[in-house]
Copies of this chain bind each other. A is one copy, B any other.
Amino acid sequence: MLRLMKLVLAVIQDADAAALMRALSDQQFEATKLASTGGFLREGNTTLMIGVDDGRLAALQALIGQTCRSRTRLVPARGLTSENEGGVAQEPVEVPVGGAVIFVLGVEDFVKV
């Protein structure tokens, strides 16, 4: 059986993985999660492998983009500079979270057995 398919490899943050797996499942996308680390994004990422029919590719990319959008989170600033070591109360700082790197590959054949 040959279908017009794409294979999407999406590298996302671990923190977004559970929400994205749930969102994919809700919309009948089938994803396999590969253990991965480092490089793209910050430490602690997850690579998803998702087979998708051509006609649903845009919807899949939009879903990943919405669920894993780049955003910031406030975290305590301790440890970021050495000038603040004397026990002074510190302002929280914004750190970037989320984001995704999405590769779309052509699939020459796809079979389920």
What residues make up the interface of A, taking CB atoms closer than 8 Å to B? 5-7, 9, 11, 21, 24-25, 30-40, 45, 47-49, 51, 61, 64-65, 68-70, 99-113
A98 to chain B, nearest CB (A): 8
A47/B47 contact (C-beta < 8 A), A105-B107, A108-B104 known: no
A65/B105 contact (C-beta < 8 A), A36-B35, A49-B47 known: no
| C-alpha spacing A30/B40, complex, angstroms | 6
Q: 7 closest Cβ contacts across the A-B interface?
A: A104-B109, A31-B39, A65-B113, A35-B35, A32-B39, A102-B111, A104-B108
Q: Are A30 and B39 in contact (CB-based, < 8 A)?
A: yes
